[in-house]
Amino acid sequence: MSFDLETHRDAYFAARERELAELVDPDTGLLSERYARHVDCPLCGGRDHDALFVKHGFTFVRCTRCRLVFSNPQVDASIVSEEYRTGGSNDLWVDVLTSPRQLDLDREKFASILDALEPFRGDGRLLDVGCSIGLFLNLARDRGWDGSGIEFGARARAYAQEEFGLAVADVPIAQAGYADRSFDAVALLSVIEHLNDPRGMLAEIRRLLRPGGALYVVTPNVDSLACRILHQHAATFDGRNHLVYFSPATLAEALTGAGFEPVELATRVASLAPVREWLSYAEPYSDADLAADPAPGRIAAVLEPLLDELQLGYKLHCLARRVD
């Protein structure tokens, strides 16, 4: 059984494709102006950018000043927010996260993140922004952390509350009523790429962290080998869900500009299977039989040991601390 079938990603991706099609103007093949919002660079505010490609009607650009990649125009922020609250593919993602294979992968990933946060424990006050089904907070609680979460998705939030008994708010972080310096650590795991205003989120997180407190960020790496080779064929590019695409350099710039010091920045997840398929002239993510073409496999075997050293992994992991 393929990974997508085993984790129910096939159903999620099919539903997402249908939803993306509904946002496109059939006359232009681009995001409908009814939903569109043209933006300056979400990182540096620059107005000049180079177009990279169009996918599903969304145009992806790169800022000529800071080189942040983002979709432009973007779906209006109010529509994005509502999408995460109600039904559709967002609900189907809960099936992905609760599949046994995904749970095993996430437990391992979250254990590593909690290890990294341990030196910053202080009083053990932890906030998970976009906590989804609550697995990370549940594992943190087992280690003695006092955790709180924010999650817009109704089905994911219900799972976190009912399965794990967690305290989860369903309002934006600025409206949650948290006091200044009320947390020792904040987790932003696969969330920042979904935001229209990542700088605003980082500023709010800094307000909530005590001096010297830790922020852990996980986000797709636009400079990964997979993205560099596959371009628009890389699964991370969709335009509606993922609005901004950080590299190691632009993520470090965003954190530094918001008053954080990156302590450790590394990449994880090779994601070489779709690269091998593409190099063999097959469709990426198709689970194609590549037995007749051994060359891509040999190429991948040579490259994989270099991915961490060259920061070419598919996911960025960054531990940062608040500076004053």
Query: Which amino acid makes up residue 192?
Result: I
CA distance 155 to 87: 8
Report the alpha-carbon distance of residue 264 to residue 215 in Å, rounded.
Answer: 11
Q: Half-sphere exposure (CA, 13 Å, Cβ side) for 201?
A: 23
CA distance 254 to 270: 24
Ranking 6-15, 138-147, 283-292 by mean pLDDT, the lowest is 6-15
- pLDDT of 24 higher than 70: yes
Burial of 288 (0-12, 13-18, 19+ CB in 10 A): middle
Distance from C-alpha of 217 to C-alpha of 222, rounded to nearest angstrom? 15
Task: Identify the pLDDT of residue 86.
Answer: 63
| Neighbouring-strand partners of residue 268 | 315
pLDDT (0 to 100) of residue 80? 62
pLDDT for res 1: 60
Residue 227 has pLDDT above 70, yes or no: yes
Superfamily of domain 3-322: Vaccinia Virus protein VP39 (3.40.50.150)
What DSSP line would sit under 161-219, residue for residue?
Answer: HHHH---EE-S-GGGS-PPTT-EEEEEEES-GGG-S-HHHHHHHHHHHEEEEEEEEEEE
Q: How many CB atoms lie within 10 A of CB 265?
A: 17
Phi, psi of 49 (to 5 degrees): -150, 160
Encoded tokens for 70: 């983002």
Say which residue the tokens 């927010």 belong to. Answer: 81
Q: ω into residue 100 within 30 of 0, thus cis?
A: no
User: What pLDDT, on the 0 to 100 scale, is given for residue 81?
Assistant: 60
Looking at residue 132, what is its pLDDT?
Answer: 96
What Rg, from alpha-carbon coordinates, does the chain have? 19
Which two three-digit tokens encode residue 3? 């990974």
What's the confidence (pLDDT) of residue 138?
Answer: 98
Determine if the pTM surpasses 0.85. yes
Model confidence band, residue 41 (pLDDT cutoffs 50, 70, 90): very high
Cβ atoms of residues 68 and 187 within 8 Å: no
In one-letter notation, the amino acid at residue 309 is E
Per residue in 92-115, pLDDT (tens digit) is 889 999 999 999 999 999 999 999
Can you tell me the distance from the alpha carbon of 45 to that of 42, in angstroms, rounded to the nearest whole number?
Answer: 6
Q: Where are the domains of the chain?
A: 3-322
pLDDT in tens, 110-148: 999 999 999 999 999 999 999 999 999 999 999 999 999
End-to-end CA distance of the chain: 51
- CA 214 to chain CA centroid, Å, is 18
Q: Which of 78-87, 157-166, 291-300 has the lowest mean pLDDT?
A: 78-87
